[in-house]
Amino acid sequence: MGIRIGHVYAQVLMLSGALAALSGIMVSSLSGLLPTMGADPMLKAFVICVVAGLGNVPGAAIAALLLGLLEAVIQYLFGVQYAFAILLALVICVLIWRPYGLFGKRQVVRL
């Protein structure tokens, strides 16, 4: 009876691992590989997910595009070193005033 939580967790991790491996394979054809190269995309993915609202797939796609452009504009106008800090400050503001994300609706709390 019911949903087997352990199975669902394992399946979700398997699928997300497959997607992560796919992007890793594609990156390996473009740039050199380093053990630390994952930290930056990881944080950016986190920024995008939080700004879009956790679990919102179309919102994440739009937020990824917008935040990428915003980062480029900040880098061009103010300087490269401020871009990521300003993105993270944006996350802080989103979490304070719209904890469910820019495109998200007020919804049940997961976790």
Partner 1 sequence: MSDRRRDILLALALAALLALVPAVFGTRYIISQITLFFIWGIVVTQWNLVLGVAGIFSLAQMALFAIGAYATAMLAYYGAFPLLAAMPLAALVTVAASLLIGFACLRLKGAYVALLTLAVAQVIYLIVVNDTACFTNPPSGCLPLFGGVRGFSRFGDLGFRDLLGSKFYVGHYYVGLGLLLAAQVFCILLIRGRWGLPSARCATTRVMPCRAASDGCATSCGSSASRPSSRVSPEPSMPRISVWSGPSSSRCRCCCSCWP
Q: Is residue 95 close enough to count as binding partner 1 by CB under 8 A? A: yes
Site size for partner 1 (CB under 8 A)? 17
Q: Is residue 62 close enough to count as binding partner 1 by CB under 8 A? A: no
Q: Is residue 89 close enough to count as binding partner 1 by CB under 8 A? A: yes
With respect to partner 1, which residue has the nearer C-beta, 22 or 55? 55
Q: Is residue 45 close enough to count as binding partner 1 by CB under 8 A? A: no
Q: Is residue 84 close enough to count as binding partner 1 by CB under 8 A? A: yes
- Rounded CA-CA distance 80/18 in Å is 33
Q: Is residue 8 close enough to count as binding partner 1 by CB under 8 A? A: no
Q: Is residue 12 close enough to count as binding partner 1 by CB under 8 A? A: no
3-state secondary structure 36-104: CCCHHHHHHHHHHHHHHCCCCHHHHHHHHHHHHHHHHHHHHHCCHHHHHHHHHHHHHHHHHHCCCCCCC
